[in-house]
Homo-oligomer: A and B are copies of this chain.
């Protein structure tokens, strides 16, 4: 009895995957550790040169007074919002309906911190200035995610961002940046990370998205804020005796890849254009503003899967490893460009999209 291979199985076998840096395997850590001496002392419960140097480096990059390394963004962001709520004496925060805290954290913010979120904007569009100006509720803090991942990684105009920031400052609303993919948007905004962060009171950045590290996050802001965050980090169980496996790999891959974000962004635009030239396929956003976008197919998942599997086997190019069903009857997937894209021969990629277009055209007309 042979089982039909899944889309993921066939995808995993392809030599040319368009997204990502490479396999998330143990070699990723081994490679990072090679550049550090074995005699380097571990951090100890948030203290020591190893962790403090990296925190100082990131505080400087983000243009903030102070920074704290966390094992996860989930932990860092709940804590950021908790501190702002406590300061403001107000348990309400506002964020997008598809905010990470709302859909990926098993309601930790509500269950552990008893914070009540106010959902701004609709699921399928960005929060805009109007949404902020016309909030019904008094809130302690507004969280903005740049880029907004769950809608393909969209960004507001920088002017709109500045206006939202100015309004929040005027009204005494704290502004927090979910900057999981902050470094990835620097090329589009043509602003430094520190310039973007200057619009926010607190900032979280991740090291395993575009940076491609193992795990880990930085939370940055004023010293009084980050010091308070360390107390909550201990309460959450995140003040580990040793965080260095994550810190060293974050440091190594930050240095390796932060300068490549412009390249990933250009490649994302190129790849999105390939999809947009195909029948019944489109990228969201139409022109990417970072290294990421979503690809939407008009055809349903069960029709797309055999097409993609055949394509992968025929061309060796792996486009996406999974498909989500969409409410409009089509399906979609997420693509984040990393080191892999540049290794695909141009002709191979071109050929793959030729084949995809032919197959989709045939399928649509059948």
Contacts and interface: CB of A to CB of B under 8 A. Distances in A.
A154 interface: no
Contact of A238 (B27, B71, B73): B71
Nearest to A248: B26
Contacts of A70: 237
Contacts of A231: 106
Interface stretch (A37-45, A55-63, A317-325, A336-344): A37-45
Given A26-B39, A42-B24, A111 B245 contact: no
Interface of A: 23-30, 33, 36-42, 44, 70-76, 78, 105-108, 111-113, 208, 214-215, 231-232, 234-246, 248
A41 B112 CA distance: 32
Given A108-B236, A215-B243, 11 more contacts: A23-B39, A25-B41, A26-B33, A30-B38, A71-B240, A72-B239, A73-B237, A74-B234, A108-B237, A215-B242, A237-B238
A26 B29 CA distance: 12
B71 A108 contact: no
Contacts of A30: 33, 38
A23 to B, nearest CB: 7
A9 to B, nearest CB: 14
A40 B23 CA distance: 10
Contacts of A29: 33, 244-245
A53 to B, nearest CB: 14
